[in-house]
Amino acid sequence: MTETRKLAKYLASLGYGSRKEMEVAIRRGRVTGWGEDVEFDGEPLDPGPGMVILMHKPAGYTCSHQDQGKLVYDLLPPRFLKRDPKISSVGRLDADTTGLLLFTDDGALLHRLISPKSDIPKTYEATLARPLEGFEKEFFASGSLILRGEDKPCLPAELEVTGERTARLTLSEGRYHQVRRMFAAAGNHVEALHRSRFGPLELGDLSEGAWRLLTEAERAGLAP
């Protein structure tokens, strides 16, 4: 395979276009540089396989490739969705939940991060329908809470009361709608939910709907 075809194949795997389209782009001078300094239309290439994206998910967006309505993937550059390997969200946040959401095309990393054995702490800020009653911190930390429809108790979770109807909950599991169901088991209802932290990662000043690539150091710290 010629160098042009190899480069065209690589560009196609990053989602810039088909192989034939990339061969034409190369011939027309849209691809410049060499080695690690290749540019497409004057811009550095996207990272190769192993890319991890951090997004500040807005409310109203679904973590799906196929559902109707607004999808979190709509917030990413269209070429990202044509990459091979495919980009997927690391777990899900329901449509009404905002906050830190990760994406990657690294299947092995994805499975490590969502595995029940990963033990990665995730922190959520909850706004509740009714005032907290005072027993919730001990209740969530007990390791004895069994959610409705399940038979295995939740792992101990740490609750920090931040207001009369607000709380910060840190847990190391990722069960279906877990935070909402935990507060429901405590006789309350979550009106708003925001994930502020995933392992060592925080949103910082990233605006709602925006995203950024993780640095190599952040990626290494996420799943050593």
Active site residues: 94
How far is it, in rounded angstroms, from Cα 66 to Cα 118? 27
Q: Which residues contact 106 (CB under 8 A, 6 or more apart)?
A: 49, 50, 51, 52, 85
Answer yes or no: are the C-beta atoms of 155 and 172 closer than 8 Å. Answer: yes
Answer yes or no: are the C-beta atoms of 121 and 172 closer than 8 Å. Answer: yes
Residue written as token pair 């991060």: 113
- Of the candidates 21, 35, 13, the residue with the CA atom closest to the CA atom of residue 86: 13
Q: Which residues contact 183 (CB under 8 A, 6 or more apart)?
A: 126, 128, 136, 189, 190
How far is it, in rounded angstroms, from Cα 199 to Cα 61? 23
Rg (CA), the chain: 21
